[in-house]
Structure 1
């Protein structure tokens, strides 16, 4: 009958064989810097149990070598089994203590700051793959603004579904130091802190301060300053005032905080509602409809490079409408059907706009008449001694869902939302 035994040393474990004639009682002996272990009696353990023991000792050989060397003694198999169990229990206790300490640190203010900091320093990843995005000049305009930023908020405006989010995300692709949040309610700040796990504005600002310090390690990064990207969906009505005051607080009044606030508003109305303390304290960037060349490139990505003009004729140059037309085609709708639907929606929006009172002395109908007279130039906010406030008109448009007209934040003029809206206005105004 044979038992497996093992010499354990600092470098490796070498298996040997011992036979019963060596004695009924086999023990572990310190031999130089090695230990030989075996059961004290054949009846102490089965061969399988002993092999498991040998494996366990092999995993803990450094422990046993140090103990045995210090003790200058011998150990029975049972004693060594107990020692293995004690070592395993000590390791489990140490692991549990470490887990508890790690959890306590994560729950502490410092732990929360470090966790949020790590997320912010990851390269910004847009929602769309780069090969699905056409490059537009406005993206380079955004990059230059971000790279040269020193103070004041940046407001990304444009018609709904004009591609503002895609343009902003593409401009930020790969940039470190970006914190993105979507505003959905009036108490959005509290929700943002909860999602970031920083609890309050104090921890948030400290985290962003550290982001700026970390960015010094990335000299080729797009920006040297942390960025707070706030996205405002079309459905969000409340909370815009708070966006304005937050941007003023961290980007304008306290340069030491140095947080670049970028507001990407889904609707022109939401963008106009923003006010960081005057136009001189914010930078407006406009994302307009596609050019025909951009529309051609975009439709080529969707497999319509040969008939791209048919799509433009059906729904115009707004990228959201072109996307919808592509989706409708996959569902079996013809381009003629899509065109009729776009015309119907334009007519509905024009009729609703005609019913507005955009100024005590000006109706929506009168404003459309004036726009037709000067088309495609648009009309200024002050005309014929009457000042039509863009922010008030934008609020009316949003509340009544009549997006037939928009105010261009850069050109400072009112325009028809599209050629389809202009044609719908002509048709409706021809019938007094």
Structure 2
């Protein structure tokens, strides 16, 4: 039989295209321009690294000169005089002294030859737009905050202040403000700012990582708690059954195993309660992190959808894994009632109440319990979705997004109908399976 007849027309075309692509790859001439691109790019990269290294060395020399003990002392005098203004000091002389120190690092451009800023092209004036020199390249630039042609960059420089025995004790910090133009600032700090931006995590990522860590801890602790819960359920079931048998066969107290009728030990109950408390704390922290994510302010519809999806996933996770925690208080309550029944058997109560307590433990049907659990879980999920849609409607009304309210209101109505339907199923189930 022909191969094309077996594969079909569509699949045959795909096979032919694939074979043709392989043939073209083998036959056609390929020229790789990667090496040329790398060589051209490497020139720009080397030039950028050289410029960055040159400006970095200039900044280091500048800070060393300005943090010289004599220069630092003069700057302290200048700061004190500017703060107090009670003693006449020649501030112009101090400023000129610092300018002379700064000009030893790089030659300043003659400000008389520069009528306008080289970046924003604004004309300099004596008052509104004054001239400033970049301390790293020496260009004349303006200090307009709107254009950002130059700015004073705050630096904390480690200096040897003396008076200490060790190098750590001798080191101190001096705050300096160095005016740097926009071009030098970009060359010197752009890569550093980019690395800081990459290392910085947004709030939603931090909350999501916290939520994932709690989820891992919950999944790790759940098997141990389920094992303890299964042990308590078995011991409680056997205890209630043997209590019922003891009452029905009071003439022969030796019939039945006394060891199997023992209730759970205090150590078992304490360990189960502690594990349950740790799980509840982890679930609380997990829910808090999820709510923090969904409540983060954002203007992006995609980000809003992402936050809502994470929150809906957390709700489903909680509904799925929190159900075993609800069974422990019921088991402990049955254990206490079983203890109370044993006390009544010794002359403190009537046999009818003991039989009722025992029958409440014995009459459990796994299939019935599974069906009831499924209905209640479905109801809890629908109630949570109904609550979320209600919050979304309130948020849309507050933000005046009226085009979304209609669709959300329709979804809310459908959820309410589903809730009523499931509640009716639960009521019918309880009527068909009464607890006696």
TM-score range, shorter chain: under 0.3
Larger Rg: 2
Q: TM-score, normalised by structure 1?
A: 0.24
Larger strand share, 1 or 2 = 1
Q: TM-score, normalised by structure 2?
A: 0.24
Larger helix share, 1 or 2 = 2
| Higher RCO (CA 8 Å, separation ≥ 6 residues) | 1
